[in-house]
Structure 1
Amino acid sequence: MGNNSWEARADEYSLYGFTDLPSVHERGAVVVTHGEGPYVFDTKGRKYLDSNSGLWNMVAGFDHPGLIKAAQDQYARFPGYHAFFGRMSDQTVLLSEKLVEVSPFDRGRVFYTNSGSEANDTMVKILWFLHQAEGKPQKRKILTRQNAYHGVTAVSASMTGKPYNSVFGLPLPGFLHLSCPHYWRNGKPGETEEQFTARMAAELEATIIKEGADTIAGFFAEPVMGAGGVIPPSKGYFQAVAPILKKYGIPFIADEVICGFGRTGNTWGSQTYDFMPDAIISSKNITAGFFPMGAVILGPDLADRVQAASEAIEEFPHGFTASGHPVGCAIALKAIDVVMNEGLADNVVRLAPRLEAGLAEIAKNPNIGELRGVGYMWALEAVADRATKTPFASTLSVSERIANTCTDLGLICRPLGQSVVLCPPFILTEGQMDEMFEKLDKALKKVFAEVA
């Protein structure tokens, strides 16, 4: 890298987030300039098929004309406002109506943030506020799961069941992480998947009894753990845990930041796994990545209770300057229409079996221990020994090497632990899917030949 190259300038002035620093220092950052469909291009003119959809969110690709026009038209009409003091844009009102309409709830209320992290953080504050108002100030503990990802603010990072948050002195007190419902990795010898699910449910109830149901504010779960490595729940998991939460009066919050708006093959991941939450957290696909936005969608019971608590003190004292931004809302309205009515959601349903079959063929490689996923979100887990599920030594950085090799071949995928994650844009064609298969297979074979 020359001293004035894009890579050198990025390295000099940027603080990288969630980046393998030895790798980026050796190889340099990839500085992208523009995108076409599911492809992005860097400063050197190299073309990459982005099988990560940016960061799960660019589901309509990088140059969708309808989304660009929606942004341009709204910027020309009304470029910015807030949602404070009883004032909000017309686009904000329209989007709230649309989100409740497409939600699994028959009615509800919506609160806007700028990200999924802020939406989860906001939901926790809503629960604390609600329980305090209802005379139960001790109901503050939050239940999530190990390996779950809920965000990076101090509260949402405390919800995130990842060991890396220990470097920040997190989690905060009162954030409890139950076992990860990953049967392939965490099932005991001789334990059936149904028995594993029963064990997960028993752990939940035992935790509630131990901590005291009157101290627990809520339970948060992703329908499929995304940044945990695309981990679908074990069979019957949500049907086992939902009645327990209801029995003890604990609100059930579905974190649909990744799963929402089509990623699993249904509008909501909670529909895919057949459970009804009390509230939904949305972000990413809500604007197809064209604007930073998050939303808390409260179902009827929580909406009524929070409204009553707010009325009692004459306000809900929380918000962000750009909450319900009119441009973001206009883009979101168009993005929802694009996904649901322009064939993108249909494309996921139509091609998901082809995606699974192609990855299953690649997963025959003896160094792939598990292929897991649903819809348009999948992971391949690398192992040194398939029979014993023994991972490669962490010093080998196998998934990082696979991702880097894919990048060299013109394919962007994501390393997560020992896994490689693929979550392609919903516009992916069969030909582009074949391109992804070919480059991924080539990268896997190259890296495994070097380390196995």
Structure 2
Amino acid sequence: MTELSKITGSNEPSAETLLQWDREHQIHPWAAMDDWRDYDNMLIDTADGIYMWDAQGKRYIDGPAGMWCTQIGYGRRDMAEAIAAQVMKLPYTSPFTNVTEPSAVLAKKIADMAPGDLNNVFFTTGGSTAVDTALRTMMYYNNRRGLPEKKMILAREKGYHGSTYLAHSVTGKERDKSHFDFESRLVHFLPDVNPYRRAAGQSVEAFCDEKVADLENAIAEIGADRIGAFIAEPILSSGGVIVPAPGYHKRTWEICKANDILYISDEVVTGFGRLGHWFASEEVFGIQPDMITCAKGLTSGYLPLGACIIADHVLEAMSHLGEPSSYTNGYTYSGHPVSCVAALKNIEIFEDEGILEHVRSVSPHFQKRLAELVKYDIVGDVRGMGLLGCIEGKAEDLEAERTLGNKIDAACEARGLIVRPLINMAVFSPPLIITIEQIDEMFDIIEDALQEVEAELKA
């Protein structure tokens, strides 16, 4: 009998029963509403290290690391023990009036890791609420400064920032917006920054100039006095692991500084080791944002937690103005002590096991194996950085191209690897503990899958 069966007092349901209950009662993120009762999601039973096992006992490499987040891998008993101990000591207290040791220690840890004067941490429930907090903070900041018209948000096509209303509104993935309302009056989208989409014969340097000019033109058109923030992922992860041209980030950050526009770096995916550093903004791209949002790898997915990290100069500008005002933004589970303990144990594991150094050590091999995939005819582009990768497929027939991501995913799944399909793309971001041998295992499967799909399309 499983622990869950002991708790519920019922016999352990079969896999078929669980899938039936799932179809009948659970709505999954991004469920296909035309047939959501007619298909089965994969029923995952157990996991350990970089592997997961389904209800039939088949093993898979977890290529997406859950949802870009299981950095330290599965089955960490030390993590379970830390969580259990905090549950028994203090599972919850109101963050509106109380402080706990875990939240105070974690806030100090994050402030020490973050670049520049980003010394102030507001804890949220995940990435979407961290982004909402950053955007609401910008609005509060400009209201307090007597600039109520300075509220427009610049964002980028293909960017993804979450599912809450404001985060959804600044998301630039058109597929994610179908049939949901969003706030268009506050947002201006800059064109796609993917170098793969540059004009024929255009150099990457010229493309970068064009993308920087897109920002400058938007500021000239809208007016710097009306623009409050520019929000940008260092790498547009859900948009297809888009790595902007070299120099783009620093040039756009400098333009924002010159025009009194807050720069929000959305590091929900790139933060906590994905590129071999706690944060990528300064270490990889040479910028010190005004705010950084993070989640996912903060706890390695063991418990939900997010954070918005705010610079001293932003806090100072909206404080001590002679008029009382409360920062009326918060969540019941802000600074949840058990989630904060999970994050602290996660950071301890990173430090004790040298995980950041490990990522920097194995990433060149990961990126080498990824780069070699361009030899297949159905591969139009490969791109990535650190332990992030994307295969963008191509086909002569547009309809065939649209299904390439799913075809690659299905072929990989049959061989024991999960990747994440996105239209004609397959993306992956394995747990950071992956070894060189496991990287080879993963890419050997991908190569077999590509050969199968390519042969199918040529048949």
TM-score (norm 2): 0.92
* Secondary structure in structure 2 of the residue aligned to 1:34: strand
Within 1, Cα distance between the matches of 2:320 and 2:378? 56
* Secondary structure in structure 1 of the residue aligned to 2:167: helix
Residues 433-452 of structure 1 correspond to what in structure 2 (within 5 A)? Answer: 433-452=439-458
* Secondary structure in structure 1 of the residue aligned to 2:196: helix
Partner of 1:9: 21
Within 2, Cα distance between the matches of 1:16 and 1:444? 29
Q: Which amino acid aligns with 1:449?
A: A
Cα displacement (A) at 1:425 = 0.3
Cα displacement (A) at 1:417 = 2.5
Partner of 2:310: 298
Partner of 1:108: 119
Q: Which amino acid aligns with 1:203?
A: D
Q: Is the 8 A contact 2:50 2:74 kept in 1?
A: yes
Q: Which amino acid aligns with 2:138?
A: L
Q: In terms of mean alpha carbon deviation, does 16-25 or 236-245 score higher?
A: 16-25
Partner of 2:294: 282
Q: Is the 8 A contact 1:108 1:303 kept in 2?
A: no
Within 1, Cα distance between the matches of 2:183 and 2:240? 20
- 1:370 counterpart = 2:375: no
- 1:32 counterpart = 2:32: no
Cα displacement (A) at 1:26 = 7.0
Cα displacement (A) at 1:20 = 5.5
Cα displacement (A) at 1:48 = 1.1
Q: Is the 8 A contact 2:23 2:38 kept in 1?
A: no
Cα displacement (A) at 1:9 = 2.7
Q: Which amino acid aligns with 2:432?
A: F
* Secondary structure in structure 2 of the residue aligned to 1:112: strand
Cα displacement (A) at 1:424 = 0.5
Within 2, Cα distance between the matches of 1:89 and 1:442? 51
Partner of 1:60: 72
Within 2, Cα distance between the matches of 1:89 and 1:5? 42
* Secondary structure in structure 2 of the residue aligned to 1:108: strand
Cα displacement (A) at 1:315 = 2.1
Q: Which amino acid aligns with 1:441?
A: E
Q: Which amino acid aligns with 1:196?
A: F
Q: Is the 8 A contact 2:394 2:401 kept in 1?
A: no
* Secondary structure in structure 1 of the residue aligned to 2:323: helix
1:422 pairs with 415, 428, 453, which one? 428
- 1:43 counterpart = 2:55: yes
2:336 pairs with 325, 336, 348, which one? 325
Within 1, Cα distance between the matches of 2:146 and 2:456? 62
- 1:149 counterpart = 2:160: yes
- 1:161 counterpart = 2:172: yes
2:136 pairs with 120, 125, 140, which one? 125
- 1:201 counterpart = 2:212: yes
Residues 256-275 of structure 1 correspond to what in structure 2 (within 5 A)? Answer: 256-270=267-281, 271-275=283-287
Q: In terms of mean alpha carbon deviation, does 13-22 or 237-246 score higher?
A: 13-22
Q: Which amino acid aligns with 2:341?
A: A
Q: Which amino acid aligns with 2:428?
A: L
Partner of 2:11: none
Within 2, Cα distance between the matches of 1:160 and 1:411? 29
Structure 1 residues 107 and 215: alpha-carbon distance in aligned structure 2, compared to 1, 3 A threshold:
closer
Within 2, Cα distance between the matches of 1:235 and 1:418? 25
Structure 1 residues 418 and 19: alpha-carbon distance in aligned structure 2, compared to 1, 3 A threshold:
farther
Structure 1 residues 88 and 307: alpha-carbon distance in aligned structure 2, compared to 1, 3 A threshold:
farther
Within 2, Cα distance between the matches of 1:49 and 1:211? 47
**Per-residue CA distance 1:303-358 (angstroms, 9 max, x = gap):** 2224446x833421110000000011111111122224422111111111111112
Within 1, Cα distance between the matches of 2:52 and 2:319? 44
**Per-residue CA distance 1:173-216 (angstroms, 9 max, x = gap):** 2111101211111x122221111111111111111111111111
Partner of 1:412: 418
Q: Is the 8 A contact 1:59 1:285 kept in 2?
A: yes
Within 1, Cα distance between the matches of 2:407 and 2:16? 27
Cα displacement (A) at 1:263 = 0.5
- 1:432 counterpart = 2:438: yes
Q: Name stretches of at least 5 consecutive residues in structure 2 with no aligned partner.
A: 1-13
Q: Is the 8 A contact 2:405 2:423 kept in 1?
A: yes
Cα displacement (A) at 1:266 = 2.2
Within 2, Cα distance between the matches of 1:370 and 1:322? 42
Aligned length: 443
Q: Is the 8 A contact 1:40 1:48 kept in 2?
A: yes
Q: Is the 8 A contact 1:358 1:437 kept in 2?
A: yes
Cα displacement (A) at 1:367 = 1.1
Within 2, Cα distance between the matches of 1:237 and 1:448? 35
Q: In terms of mean alpha carbon deviation, does 112-121 or 170-179 score higher?
A: 170-179
Within 1, Cα distance between the matches of 2:350 and 2:422? 27
Within 2, Cα distance between the matches of 1:307 and 1:61? 41
Partner of 2:7: none
- 1:83 counterpart = 2:95: yes
**Per-residue CA distance 1:221-278 (angstroms, 9 max, x = gap):** 0001111110111121012212211111101010000000111122212121111211
Query: Taking every aligned residue pair, what percent have the same amino acid on both sides?
Result: 31
* Secondary structure in structure 2 of the residue aligned to 1:200: helix
* Secondary structure in structure 2 of the residue aligned to 1:433: helix
After superposition, the CA RMSD in angstroms is: 2.0
Cα displacement (A) at 1:373 = 0.6
Q: Which amino acid aligns with 1:136?
A: L
Within 2, Cα distance between the matches of 1:443 and 1:276? 41
Cα displacement (A) at 1:290 = 0.8
Q: Is the 8 A contact 2:295 2:307 kept in 1?
A: yes
Q: Which amino acid aligns with 1:347?
A: H
* Secondary structure in structure 1 of the residue aligned to 2:230: strand
Structure 1 residues 169 and 338: alpha-carbon distance in aligned structure 2, compared to 1, 3 A threshold:
same
Q: Which amino acid aligns with 2:348?
A: D
Within 2, Cα distance between the matches of 1:255 and 1:107? 14
Q: Name stretches of at least 5 consecutive residues in structure 1 with no aligned partner.
A: 386-390
